[in-house]
Amino acid sequence: MKIIVLKICFLSIGFSQINPFEVSYYSVQKDSVGIPAPAKAMFKSLLIPGWGQIQNKDPWWKPVLFAGLETIGWISSSRYGNRAEDIRSEFEAFGDIHWELERWYSRTQTIFPDRWQGILIGTHKLGLKIGGNYYYTDQLTELLNRYSWLDISVIRDRDFYENIGKYDQFVGGWDDTYDDPFDSAGNWWTVQKGSVESIILTQQKDYYRDLRHQSNLLKHYSRYAVSVVMFNHIVSGLDAAWMANKKEKNLPGFHLNYDPLNKWGVGGVEITFTW
């Protein structure tokens, strides 16, 4: 419970009959263990939404509401998260089957015959592993002078699964039957993205992107559900403190401080606010 003491002194409070530093003087409502009731109700509800409302003996629907939101929030977060992980495993397995490094290298030369080397280097990289050494795809042309395709493996990490679905630089690795990638039909086609950018899609890549989008969307839903749970804790805690204070709070205390040096006997006015 918070206390504000406002003193208006006329002459002096040095001879006041009241010791302002004596804690027992203040009319703070406490529970049996010495914790102010509003504070205890608030911390209970911050820990378990609805618990503080039970302490306050609020209408039954309030603890049920807060506890229900807590339960629904965690269940929703778990279900969305689990479904997102299932779809993530699905699109990663799909990418493992339908995207290949050697195909990407050779087909990029077909799609971009005049600038294929620049496309391979590009602005994004995939990790490569040869024996116990690590490289990147911008070194692939040079590496092929020393190693065979059997020696080179692509590292299928988080960046890999993002890059093969997001950037035209890696479109050549998909195993769709090849046709003109710059038309608007067939297994390969180009779509406008925004006002200045276009993206090359294939049937496989498009399906992969849809799966990945679904997974990311469900992850967002899972995080939103957790945010609702946290907000529920805060609202429940504030409500519990407010209602406990409303039930137990006294009106502002009004006291005249005695001062024998004042001919009226009044050394000041003390107003105490508690909540």
Q: pLDDT, tens digit, for every residue of 10-60?
A: 433 333 444 444 444 444 445 554 667 778 888 899 999 999 999 999 999
Residue 191, Ramachandran bin (φ over 0: left; ψ between -120 and 50: alpha; else beta): beta
Rounded CA-CA distance 174/163 in Å is 12
Q: What pLDDT is recorded for position 14?
A: 35
Q: pLDDT, tens digit, for every residue of 238-253?
A: 999 888 887 776 444 5
pLDDT in tens, the chain (275 residues): 555 444 444 433 333 444 444 444 444 445 554 667 778 888 899 999 999 999 999 999 999 999 999 999 999 999 999 999 999 999 999 999 999 999 999 999 999 999 999 999 999 999 999 999 999 999 999 999 999 999 999 999 999 999 999 999 999 999 999 999 998 888 999 998 776 678 999 999 999 999 999 999 999 999 999 999 999 999 999 999 888 887 776 444 555 566 666 655 556 656 554 55
The token pair that represents 42 in the structure block: 């608030």
Nearest Cα to Cα of residue 95 among 179, 155, 138, 185:
155
> What is the rounded radius of gyration, in angstroms, for the C-alpha atoms of the chain?
35
Q: Which helix (H) or strand (E) holds 127?
A: strand 127-130
Which residue reads 């269940």 in tokens?
75
